[in-house]
Amino acid sequence: MQAEFVSVPGLAPDAVVSAVGYRIAGATPVTHRGLPSPSLTVVFSLDDPIVTGLSPAHAHGPGAYRNQIVVGGLHTSPAYIAQPPVQAGIQLAVRPLAARELFGVPAGELRALTTEGADILGASASSLREQLAELDTWPERFAALRGYLRDRRDGRVREPRAEVAEAWRWIAWHRGTGSMAGLANHVLLSQRQLTTVFRQEIGLSPKAVSRLMRFEYTRQRMASLVRAAQPLDLAGIASACGYFDHSHLVRDFQQYTGTSPTRWLTEERQNIQAGAHQRAQDWPS
């Protein structure tokens, strides 16, 4: 199998957390887990349509979703991608607070990995996808994508209401471990008011996003240890990432990945080492 993963920093830092170009040839067809994360997903296929489903059977059945461009909202269970032997594309992790300026709608109006991106982004996205497929190098593709994102943002509304933006920053600052009472007090809203406006904008409640943030921080920590060939102490990771105990971490992994942390690491170790796993959130220092 030949696999190439290329990431580009600073594509649009205040709107895009990370961007990865990938090209894989000669792989054994597998079902890949698209994990929940605190970012929106945008994928431009440079080959055949991306085939996804809500379960492995769905992804390999006649009712699977087939899209050349995917724009996905936040979700709390894995999506399943039927990966063919040959595939290529560019995947972006987009900040939910940037949804209005990039997509023209709040993140709360996006569905999870089932939406044809051209329906959200318009005909210009289809033209961009064709251009990306015709270009020869990753620097050329990322340059074209950078220009497209710049044009998308010109003249659009740049921020949701201030309380939602501040609540998101507060959750990220606490890496998903802060209390909901503390968050509501911070943004000067009742918990009920905050949940209502936050869910309308983001698509999930502040509590659900906090759990996603904690899971994402844990996933990034585990991936860093794998890349550094360091031993994995799951009990220690659970404690460091704000879980009550090892069992609490396992329960979250079961929900978000459909399997245990150990099995997920076994499945994904090669991809992590190759650089396939992108950041879906960055953390205040």
Res 265 pLDDT > 80: yes
Average pLDDT over residues 5-28: 90
The pTM of the full predicted model, rounded to 2 decimals, is 0.93
For 147-194, the pLDDT digits (tens) are 999 988 876 767 899 999 999 999 999 999 999 999 999 999 999 999
DSSP for residue 29: P
Tens digit of pLDDT for each residue in 102-141? 998 899 999 866 667 778 888 899 999 999 999 999 999 9
Q: How far is CA 91 from CA 42, 88, 285, in A?
A: 6, 10, 26
State residue 271 phi and psi, 5-degree precision. -65, -40
What is the C-alpha separation between 140 and 144, in angstroms, rounded?
Answer: 6
Structural domains in the chain plus CATH codes: 2-153 (2.60.120.10), 161-285 (1.10.10.60)
Beta carbons of 208 and 76 less than 8 angstroms apart? yes
Q: Which of 285, 242, 249 is nearest to 265 (CA)?
A: 249
pLDDT at 32 over 70: yes
User: What is the per-residue pLDDT for 28?
Assistant: 80
